[in-house]
Every structure is written in structure tokens, then in C-alpha cells.
């Protein structure tokens, strides 16, 4: 099972948006990682090539949690190649169990820090990038750890196709406001809901257990949908 990428390019912002906690694997998660990890998990150090032949569209979900949304997306869109990035082993194990049970062939996993990997990719790889409920890092001194930052948006813009879509969702309003401001001030992004507006949830977004729990507690969800525009 690939380890965390310790190498950083000089231009990479070295502040990570996550804390790598040692989660406990269930027996089933440990088994699937051992038995099927070599099939599903990408080598973060290897030169990029699509795991699938042909010209199918590729999507990337960053921080997929337990994989509920990603596996359902892959099931509903068998003509898409789906890649999920997650640093936490229990989440990866949970995703692999779901993928194996569903017999998914159009899904792969980056079990590593996504930013250095993205920097190694060629331009214009993804037609869709999804970031759902990223850690809001509520304390002001931790805001620098939020994944949606100007340099990360610049990186996403490079690896996304022109006309591709970036979908974001959060239930933390101050983070939603910051993301909206950052995207509308960054070059090359078009707010599909109109300037200054949040979007309706995209049709492809599956409501996860995390979101259902938050909704039951009265948490509002803020969706952002931006198109990548290149000259």
C-alpha cells in the first residue's frame, strides 16, 4: 500500500489541509486493502497515464470520506473514469469494500496527499472535480489550512479541462463565503449560478450520511459550481 508522499516541490505550499490521524482499520478494511489495494490504489510516484483505455471523461473527488458518494457516482456513470483522493486508511478501506461489492472497474484511489500528485499531472486531465465538505478549520489561526486557497485553485485550473466543472459543498457558511470570494476573484473560473450566488445541488451529487446528519441538525448546505475557462 503506497505511503504518504514526503517530497514537496519548492513551489508547493507546505501547509497541509489535513491532519493524518491513525485510524483503526476493521478486519474487513485491512483485508480488502491487502487483497485488492494493488488493483485500486494508484502509485503517486509513477508517471501519469489514465488507468482506462479510450477517451472517457475523468472525474476526481478530493477527500471522499467513506466513499459513499464516489462509489454511487461510479455506479451511475460507468462511462466515466473516477478517481478518489483520500489520506485516511479506514476511508480508503471502506471505499474499496463498496467498490468490490459493486464490481466497479471504473474507479481508482490516490491514497496520498493530492496536491503534490496534481502538480505532477499534465494539463487538462479532469472534466469534473468534486470537493465535498472539506475540513472548515474553524479557528482563524487555522484558516491557512483550508484546502481551497488561491494556489490550489490555480493548480486545479491547470489540470482541469476547459469547460470542466468544479463542484464544492460545505455546511460551514464562513467557509462557503470565503470559497465564493476566492473563486470569483481567481482568473479562469465562471460561477454557473451567477456572480455572488450559490448553486443548486448538482444532479450527480448523492446525499451522504454525513450530509443527512447535518441536515437533520438544521445545518444549511452551500453548493458552489464553477466552470473552468481557458483561453
Residue 224 clears pLDDT 80, i.e. is over it? yes
Q: What whole-number percentage of the chain has pLDDT above 90? A: 75
- Answer yes or no: is 171 a known binding residue: yes
135 is catalytic: yes
- The pLDDT score that the predictor gives to residue 11 is 46
For residue range 170-182, list pLDDT tens digits in order. 999 999 999 999 9
pLDDT in tens, 48-75: 999 998 778 999 999 999 999 999 999 9
Residue 9 annotated as lining a ligand binding site: no
- 190 in a labelled binding site: no
List 79, 135, 151, 223, catalytic entry: 135
Domains present along the chain, CATH in parentheses: 27-42+52-228 (3.40.50.150)
Does the reported pTM lie above 0.95? Answer: no
Give SS3 for 190.
Answer: strand
* Of the candidates 5, 19, 38, 189, the residue with the CA atom closest to the CA atom of residue 115: 5
Amino acid at each position: 500500500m503506497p505511503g504518504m508522499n514526503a517530497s514537496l516541490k519548492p513551489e508547493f505550499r507546505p501547509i497541509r489541509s489535513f491532519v493524518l490521524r491513525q485510524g483503526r482499520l476493521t478486519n474487513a478494511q485491512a483485508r480488502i486493502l491487502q487483497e485488492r489495494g494493488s488493483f485500486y490504489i494508484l502509485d503517486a510516484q509513477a508517471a501519469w497515464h489514465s488507468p482506462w483505455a479510450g477517451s472517457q471523461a475523468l472525474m476526481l473527488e478530493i477527500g471522499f470520506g467513506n466513499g459513499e458518494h464516489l462509489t454511487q457516482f461510479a455506479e451511475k456513470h460507468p462511462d466515466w473514469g473516477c478517481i478518489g483522493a483520500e489520506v485516511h486508511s479506514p476511508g480508503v478501506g471502506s471505499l474499496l469494500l463498496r467498490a468490490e461489492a459493486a464490481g466497479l472497474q471504473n474507479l481508482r484511489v490516490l491514497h496520498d496527499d493530492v496536491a503534490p500528485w496534481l502538480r505532477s499531472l499534465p494539463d487538462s486531465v479532469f472534466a469534473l472535480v468534486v470537493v465535498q465538505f472539506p475540513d472548515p478549520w474553524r479557528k482563524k489561526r487555522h484558516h491557512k489550512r483550508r484546502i481551497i486557497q488561491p494556489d490550489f485553485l490555480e493548480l486545479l485550473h491547470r489540470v482541469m479541462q476547459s469547460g470542466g466543472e468544479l463542484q464544492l459543498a460545505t455546511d460551514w457558511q464562513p467557509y462557503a463565503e470565503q470559497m465564493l470570494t476566492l473563486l470569483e476573484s481567481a482568473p479562469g473560473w465562471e460561477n454557473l449560478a451567477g456572480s455572488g450566488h450559490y448553486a443548486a445541488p448538482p444532479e450527480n451529487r448523492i446525499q451522504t450520511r454525513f450530509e443527512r446528519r447535518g441536515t437533520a441538525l438544521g445545518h444549511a448546505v452551500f453548493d458552489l459550481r464553477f466552470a473552468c475557462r481557458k483561453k
